[in-house]
Structure 1
């Protein structure tokens, strides 16, 4: 993790904000917005799960359900679309002397895959931060895996990219375009998203579809430990992960917010979620 100490006031503010947000999520949010609560074992494990993200650490927010399904026997492949070379906060000091940042991040991805039980990794190494410019190639990569792997379920970002990042939005579009062009029957799409109030702040494009959202709680206690271990596996991205957790670090964050939020759709609905202009 980042070696710099976080100011005490920042930590206290972060703790207070997270606590208030967590209480809202736990008590008010499900009642106001019909967000269901469920345990991970309430979702049948797909025989074959395809994960499509832009960057090597994008799976961190979904690692609990991924590991649960791996435990249940799912065959899992992950497609990481970019080379991960553009993050200015990447810490090269944790990389091996012979590695560049792309090689370092790919090694971390393999470490993460071992933790989560992911059996296959595809890395076309498209330019980081420019994925939208290479959307046709990204779509081709997804289509290829749809044909060769024939997944029963796909996990990817929601249309807004969770935090609005263009690469994240492009990851969703690559899946949506591939499914639109494909003859493969993929029954379920799991979109990584956030519940209110965080979805409001990040301008989620799923904000009007609360009925499809579900907060998934881990069935087994050790899934929280798995989530922490997965986050810590991405050592070169510690500064970014620390920032996302408001300086609390993954241990405190995942202990407090111990669920993951998904919007779940039949594959044939995904065309309705594609933003205008795409």
Structure 2
């Protein structure tokens, strides 16, 4: 059974970016899914009305993340505290070294992270993908680790501030249509982030899962011009 490591910056990134893929891995026993989250999301919103104080937000979002991870069937969560909104202020080598140690620990067959633009352009998203890429490339197993970026195709309905990837650069598509209810529940687990959820996934907070996307898209880092051997799942 293969091991897949998903590496992101914030609690909720996993549900926003590829919750359907994570749910499918669990439901179809496609492998062991491990999540690395670099921050506790303490710089985000506590909700409106607030569900906690700003001082409590990191702990609150950790609980939200672990609830979403349980719903999605994630096997293990490695949550770090590098500082929400602060990843660009710490030495990249520090974050890369932490990820390198995790690669040695979990020995993944594939690693999934953001593309260089971070989809939303968030600086933390861009830093985490840079650190992940450097850690994989420096690994003694670099040649055998499949590295992917989760992306949005240019064919998607454009949203201001969101970065898209040309369709011909997308190497892998994962059908997540059977798992849209689970995707919805995982998104709803991030209660403090209800404003963002309502904006990105209209209707989800009213349990309207039918409008969620049916496909999640990935790009092989090694070569997007030809689909590499092997598969994401």
TM-score range for the pair, normalised by the shorter chain length: 0.7 to 0.9
State the match for 2:148 in structure 1.
190
Instruction: Tell me by how many angstroms 1:218 deviates.
Output: 2.2
Could you say what secondary structure the match of 1:59 adopts? helix
Is 1:150 paired with 2:101? no
2 CA distance for matches of 1:253 and 1:67?
14
SS at match of 2:62: helix
The alignment status of 1:216 with 2:174, answered yes or no, reads: yes
Closer, same or farther: CA 94–146 of 1 in aligned 2, 3 Å: same
Is the aligned partner of 1:87 residue 2:48? no
Note if contact 1:157-1:168 (Cα within 8 Å) is conserved in structure 2. yes
TM-score, normalised to structure 2, is 0.81
Please list, as runs of the form range in 1=range in 2, the aligned pairs for 1:1-278 lying within 5 A after superposition: 47-60=2-15, 61-71=17-27, 72-88=29-45, 90-91=47-48, 93-95=50-52, 100-134=56-90, 135-185=92-142, 186-198=144-156, 202=161, 204=163, 206-207=165-166, 210-218=168-176, 221=178, 223-245=179-201, 247-249=202-204, 251-252=207-208, 255-266=211-222
CA contact (8 A) 1:83 1:128 kept: yes
Deviation, structure 1 residue 256: 4.7
For residue 202 of structure 1, report the CA deviation from its aligned partner: 4.7
Corresponding residue pairs, total? 217
Q: Secondary structure at the match of 1:68?
A: helix
Structure 2 unpaired stretches of 5+: 225-233
> For residues 60-80 of structure 1, what are the alpha-carbon distances to aligned partners after superposition, in whole Å with 9 as ceiling and x for unaligned?
130111111123152221110
Native 8 Å contact 1:142 1:175 kept in 2: yes
Give the structure with higher Rg (CA).
1
> CA shift at 1:210, angstroms?
2.2
Contact 1:146 1:184 in 2 (8 A): no
SS of the residue corresponding to residue 79 of structure 1 reads strand
Contact 2:151 2:164 in 1 (8 A): no
1:150–1:232 distance in 2 versus 1, CA, 3 Å: same
1:141 Cα offset (Å): 1.8
82-91 or 127-136, which moves further after superposition? 82-91
- SS of residue in 2 equivalent to 1:100: helix
The question of whether the paired residues in 1 share the 8 Å contact of 2:38 and 2:81 is answered with: yes
Q: Greater CA deviation, 145-154 or 114-123?
A: 114-123
Q: Mind listing any 5+ residue stretches in structure 1 that lack a counterpart?
A: 1-45, 271-278
Distance 1:132 1:205, change over 3 A: farther
